[in-house]
Chains A and B, each alone.
Chain A
Amino acid sequence: MNATEWVPRLRRGVRLDFDAVRRSAVALFPEGVLLLNPTAEAVLRACDGTRTVARIVDRLGEHYAGVRVEDVVAVLRGLAERDIVERETT
């Protein structure tokens, strides 16, 4: 499957939030906590379970300059490694 057709979804039990103590976006999930940089946060917030990677890139492009498919895919694969996003089905 072409990575741009991947429909990334947050895993069940994952919640995005803002930690006022650390002043950082965070992903909370059964096994732990992940501090999110602004890029990872923007990517995760764009994952609504229906958008493909291609549409996520378009959407991010409305707000940020120079969004590249390969960067978004790399962020999503990293988040899948950490069990925040469901893995790509091949």
Chain B
Amino acid sequence: MTAAAPFGLLAELTHRCPLHCPYCSNPLELVGRARELDTAQWRSVFTQARELGVLQVHMSGGEPLARRDLPDLVEHASGLGCYVNLVTSGVGLTEQRMAELAGCGVEHVQLSVQAADPARADEIAGTRVTAHKRAAAAAVHAVGLPLTVNVVLHRRNLDQVAEIIALAEELGAQRLELANTQYYGWALRNRDALMPTRAQLAAAEPVVRAARDRLAGRMEVIHVIADYHEEYPKPCMHGWGARQLTVAPDGAVLPCPSAHVIENLTFDTVTDRPLADIWYESEAFTAYRGEDWMRDPCRSCPRRAVDFGGCRCQAYLLTGAAENTDPVCSLSPHHDVVRQAVPETSVEVPFRMRALPVVR
């Protein structure tokens, strides 16, 4: 099939990060600094991406502020006409840095928050974060940019969802994303510690709904459901190789940020192949594009145009084959692996914190 051009690029500039969130979707095998693309290579990625049709660049990571050339990269992407979104933990986002980045073309900031109170937030982040979050939000307002607050929800913070919503209001967010944990990377490793019970999710639901009504017109509240608890899977990436691509810190080009887990695929890097070639022709991008790859039950299911058979990475991680139906789907013959991962009762399981390996 002929693919359409991509709209978005998730630029994972680095895996370095001062936080250690156990829910982090970054890979277990983090890329060290020595293997990161340099400034000229990233600039080339953005130039090629714009030529290919990309209009939106998410500067993310790891912590994008850990790249000293961030202003240069923002300026380059913005100068090409791309909408630049900064996705950050806020640690290091001083008023001065924010002003510089806004001057270079950042148009929106997405700030992650770990919990409602400092003690819990520090425990989840594995370092002291609360003062940084407040300073970062203030810095965003000082330059007049719109702010989205993103909170990853799980067993250790779902009980304080009301307080989290209040904190986002206090931080002056225009949007609040309450995103239940997606189980990739460090989050999958910590699944037993993070996975909420059905009762915990059910208790949060009316709180979120009431807040959404109360805040209508002031702060938009987006609730990303916990997919293990659903009947059908999420329409992952709006389909494989359909709208967005990810470039990892070392230049690997991925259809989604966790695609590298699929070991039977090989991923090209921007240093050995033009980006357009990778998007349109590479093995990795064409493997699960469209519907030809589907097996039953997806192949004959009327929902296949709605959810594209769910997530290929999740199918691979939980069933051993990316061509399988995402096991989150109640129609999947492997659905039991998902059902069994949802606990009946909430017991405390220790976190395994995200950390970079010793430099290789």
Contact = CB atoms under 8 A, between A and B. Distances in A.
Interface of A: 11-13, 15, 17, 19-22, 26, 28-30, 32-33, 83, 86-87, 89
B108 A30 contact: yes
B181 interface: no
Contact of B148 (A17, A19, A30, A89): A30
B169 interface: no
Interface in B1-22: 5, 7-8
Contact of B7 (A20, A32, A89): A32
Given A28-B55, A28-B56, A89 B217 contact: yes
A21 B56 contact: no
B8 A13 contact: no
B174 A13 contact: yes
A21 B50 contact: yes
B146 A13 contact: yes
Top 3 nearest A-B pairs by Cβ distance? Answer: A13-B146, A28-B83, A30-B108
B56 A32 contact: yes
A35 to B, nearest CB: 9
A12 B8 CA distance: 20
B83 A15 contact: yes
A28 B106 CA distance: 13
B56 A13 contact: no
A29 B220 CA distance: 14
Nearest to B220: A83
Contact of B175 (A19, A21, A26, A30): A30
Contacts of B148: 30
Interface range, B side: 20 to 34
A83 B56 CA distance: 16
Contact of B107 (A11, A13, A19): A13
Contacts of A22: 5, 53
A12 B146 contact: yes
B81 A17 contact: yes
A13 B55 contact: no
B226 interface: no
B51 interface: yes
B221 to A, nearest CB: 13
B107 A33 contact: no
Contacts of B220: 83
Interface in B194-242: 216-217, 220
Contacts of B108: 13, 30
A33 B55 contact: yes
A30 B5 contact: no
A26 B53 CA distance: 12
Contact of A32 (B8, B52, B81, B110): B8
29 contacts: A11-B146, A12-B146, A12-B174, A13-B108, A13-B145, A13-B146, A13-B174, A17-B81, A19-B53, A19-B81, A21-B5, A21-B50, A21-B51, A21-B53, A22-B53, A26-B55, A28-B55, A28-B107, A30-B85, A30-B107, A30-B108, A30-B146, A30-B148, A32-B8, A32-B56, A33-B8, A33-B56, A33-B83, A87-B217
B110 to A, nearest CB: 8
B47 to A, nearest CB: 12
Nearest to B4: A22
Contacts of B216: 87
B11 to A, nearest CB: 16
From B7, B53, B85, B148, residue with most partner A Cβ within 10 Å: B7
Given A28-B83, A33-B7, 13 more contacts: A13-B108, A15-B83, A17-B81, A28-B55, A28-B107, A30-B85, A30-B108, A30-B146, A30-B148, A32-B8, A32-B56, A33-B8, A87-B217
Interface in B235-272: none
Interface in B85-125: 85, 107-108, 110
Contacts of A13: 107-108, 145-146, 174
Contacts of A32: 7-8, 56
